[in-house]
Every structure is written in structure tokens, then in C-alpha cells.
Amino acid sequence: MHFGSGVPTVGVDALTDKDFLLDVREDDEWQAGHAAGALHIPMSDFVARIGELTEAAPQDARVNVICRSGGRSAQVTMYLAQQGIDAVNVDGGMQAWEAAGRPVVDDGGRPGTVA
């Protein structure tokens, strides 16, 4: 899924373990499986909880925003850019993450699935 030139994107293959990842999927999706080390703030709560992001994100790091397929994360990426935050949408979301063989874990750290 591509969102035109207005939304900066990055491919899963360009991300490293050191990159900051923000997962904006809903709680049930997160619990089924997510990237280890990602910060979880559901899109439905995002504006009210943006302080959690500004506290957790490294000062000079780009925020890589991910959801299931890229739609919700594109919206959050656009919002963050309007706030002056360096953010990019992860192209293809967690579906692309899983397809690339990247680890997906559940809340207990066991292998998870993308819901």
C-alpha cells in the first residue's frame, strides 16, 4: 500500500534492531503478535497519549510507525510530521514485517502472529 509523496515511507528491509518502532495497532492485534521492543500506542488513543511517545523516543531518532498493512500508520505519520516529529510509515506494516522473516512475539515473548 503506497500513500503518495506526502507520506514518507521506509521498507522493512531498511530497518535495524536499533531503529525506534511505534506500533499503532489496537490492543488485540498487539497481543497476538508484535515486533519485540516496539512502543505500543493504539491509533484510537494516540492523540491523548502522544506524551508517551515523546518520552520514549530517542531525541534525534526517527520514529518508524507501523500498523497491520500501512493505512493507520500512514495517518499517524502525517500527524507526527505536522507536529514537527521526524516520522516515516513502515511500508506494508506488520504483514510485510512477518513476510520478511522478522520476529513476531506475543506479550509473553513467545512466537506470535499478525492479526
Of the residues 7, 12, 24, 67, only one is catalytic, namely 67
How much is the CA Rg of the chain, to the nearest whole Å? Answer: 13
**Secondary structure of residue 105 in the 3-state scheme:** strand
Chain centroid to CA 66: how far? Answer: 2
Instruction: Give yes or no: 89 in active site.
Output: no
d(CA 32, CA 66): 15
Annotated catalytic residues are 67
